[in-house]
Chains A and B, each alone.
Chain A
Amino acid sequence: MFSVFFTTADAGIRVEADSLEGLFSDSAKGMFFLMTERKNINLELERDIYIESHDMDFLLFQWLSELLYISETEKIIFGRFDILEIKENSIKAKCFGEKLPMSSVKRLIKAVTLHNLHISRHNNKWKVEIIFDL
């Protein structure tokens, strides 16, 4: 589950999930929603992603940054993320989406930021807030 919010200069998403897999998957869904304002994305293409990092916050930052990179260079918008394995410092996932001309993207995200990005867990709920540079 994610919700979009806007700061004066940029925009972000608040994400809440029952599991870490859900948190990473919903963060990616939120990012692509912010870009396209579309909830239904065709799942005709797939890409495998593996990321390693030194801690979980940076892992989320690098996971979203990798998706942005693939999106911009291959002109793909993703809509489903099957997290195959997730650890404190690595993630392995299969991502599904469709080709989309970048001209039909509503809002360009220049980059994922780490400002205030802190994954927390309370009462079995995982939460995070992510601000994007627009």
Chain B
Amino acid sequence: MRKNLIKINNFKWEIPKETNSLMRVPGIIFASERLISETEEQAFTQVINSASLPGIVKASIAMPDIHFGYGLPIGGVVATDWSNGVISPGGVGFDINCGVRLMKTNLFLKDIKGKEREIVNSLYRHIPTGVGSTGSLTLSHNELKEVLKKGARWAVEKGYGSPEDLEFIESNGSIPEANPEKVSTKALERGRDQLGTLGSGNHFLEVQFVEEIYDEKIAKALGLEKNMITVMIHTGSRGLGHQVATDYVAILGNAMRKYGINVPDKQLACAPINSKEGRDYFEAMSASANFAWANRQIIMHWAEEAILKALGISKSSLGMKLIYDVAHNIAKKEEHIIDGKKRIVAVHRKGATRAFPPGHPEIPKKYQDIGQPVIIPGDMGRYSYLLTGVKEAMEETFGSSCHGAGRVLSRHQAIKRAQGRSIVSELEREGILVRASDKETVVEEMPEAYKDVSLVVDSIVGASISKKIAKMKPIVVIKG
């Protein structure tokens, strides 16, 4: 498939529609030549497969962090027409509303020097992590349905964080179409003791400092300064979202026959958005997204408590404030201009982040002049980035950007590479303290298992899809 790629410019590649008879639109990949050369062949096949979804508009798009996933590639963006297109759980992924939030504080590097160990231990005590982690919250099904309906607002009403936080969350932390009645009892069972848990794998909580600022004006508007302490959370909808996705892959897989839909990969099982099955999935997926926003809201609150305890300072001295929270596995109902006309589409972002430009009505008032913050986590040994949305992204990618580094080594290769080494000690020598429930997780997630995220960011900036604002370096990491 790589041989079918046509270079449009240094950061844009096309897979022509004629490559495969099932393609309804071309494939477009935004990446540097180097990232294209490092991408697995199967990821290009997944771009082609995604181009076959009925009702797809403009192109099957992939971000610079494209890699082999299931259904859509990771880093895939597909928009389908809301009135005659389909919706696909394989275009969202199993971890619905897996996402990232970034907070700033009033502290600087010098303020926490020598106190890193207290911070990491306190965070680890306050926030449940690891495989099958369960929280101190166990909810009845009725309470859980409230969470699914209200999202982050539920958490704020229960005292986690403040009402002002809601403005700084994508969709204000609550998709109104969420319908808890479309979420199965099994999904509720899996979610009832997982609210406020980080989970395992690539999920993390990091305390970082701003190492570099690229755009002083925008950084200032966001309240960021060099050496300032920031906190980043990466987690999603846990078992509840996994079960919703599993349930609806089967339901939509069965419905495809009824609607006469054929897709080249069963993982792209889909149904018309306007069918009962399609609507039910959208409403259940939205409810799961709300769960994930409540989850990150609660974890943010506990992180604040943990840091306050570790440092013995007042809440106002810490001054933790939410900069933004974005989803990177989601399908959203959005209005976009396509061929000069306004159209409502379902934008599937799988391993891709919404990145709306300055002036967009869906971003906070405070950010109207600077654009929506886009949070790009890297690996735990190097750095993460903060970008902002620009208008070109609306024209090229349905207002979407990249989402992270992307793995370069499989978990097995990482374990082999780490033999005889202590990754935790290596990171400590670099000034990064890591605590995890399992040593193997740290090994599987070690920095060299990931691409250098700066290559991804340079590609997205090179393609004029986002603006680079700041780089943050980890100091303290807790992992599942």
Chain A interface residues toward B at CB < 8 A: 6-11, 53-54, 57-58, 61-62, 65, 69, 72-73, 75, 101-103, 105-108, 110-117, 131, 133-134
Contacts of A110 in B (CB 8 A): 94-95, 201, 242
B201 with A108: CB separation less than 8 A? yes
**Number of chain B residues whose Cβ lies closer than 8 Å to a Cβ of chain A:** 47
Identify the closest chain B residue to A64 (Cβ). Answer: B246
Residue on A nearest B440 in the bound complex, by CB:
A106
A134 closest partner in B (C-beta): B201
From DSSP, what is the main secondary structure of chain B's interface residues? mixed
- CB <8 Å contact, B242 and A8: no
Instruction: Please tell me which one of the listed residues A7, A11, A54, A73 contacts residue B68 in the complex, with CB atoms under 8 A apart.
Output: A7
CB-based contact A11/B250 at 8 Å: no
- Contact across chains for A113 and B67 when beta carbons are under 8 A apart: no
* B40 interface hit (Cβ, 8 Å): yes
List 8 contacting pairs A-B, 8 Å CB cutoff, sorted by A: A8-B68, A11-B412, A57-B266, A72-B239, A108-B199, A112-B246, A114-B267, A116-B265
Which B residues, 356 to 394, have Cβ-Cβ distances below 8 Å to chain A? none
Contact of B250 among A6, A58, A131, A134 (CB under 8 A): A58
Q: B226 in the interface, Cβ–Cβ < 8 Å? A: no
With a cutoff of 8 Å between Cβ atoms, the chain B residues found around residue A10 in the complex are 69-70
With both chains docked as a complex, state the minimum distance between the C-beta of A54 and any C-beta of chain B, in angstroms.
Answer: 5
B63–chain A nearest beta-carbon distance, Å: 14
The total number of A-B Cβ pairs within 8 Å is: 114
The 8 A CB mask of B427-445 against A (1 = contact, 0 = none) is: 0000000000110100000
Q: Which of B40, B70, B239 contacts A133 (CB 8 A)?
A: B70
Q: Are the C-beta atoms of A7 and B410 separated by less than 8 Å?
A: yes
Binary A-proximity of B398-421 (CB < 8 A = 1, otherwise 0) = 000000001111111100000000
Contacts of A57 in B (CB 8 A): 266
Flag if B254 contacts A114 (CB, 8 Å).
no
Q: Name B residues whose Cβ lies closer than 8 Å to a Cβ of A.
A: 40, 67-71, 74, 90, 93-95, 130-133, 186, 189-190, 199-201, 239, 242-243, 245-246, 249-250, 253-254, 257, 265-267, 269, 406-413, 437-438, 440, 480
Which A residues are in CB contact (< 8 Å) with B438?
A: 106
Contact between chains at A9 and B68 (CB < 8 Å): yes
Known: A8-B408, A107-B440, A110-B242. 9 other contacts (CB 8 A): A8-B40, A8-B67, A69-B186, A102-B133, A103-B133, A107-B411, A108-B201, A112-B246, A115-B266
Is there contact, CB below 8 Å, between B254 and A54? Answer: yes
10 smallest CB-CB distances across A and B, nearest first, come from A102-B132, A115-B70, A6-B410, A114-B266, A111-B94, A113-B70, A6-B412, A108-B131, A115-B267, A114-B267
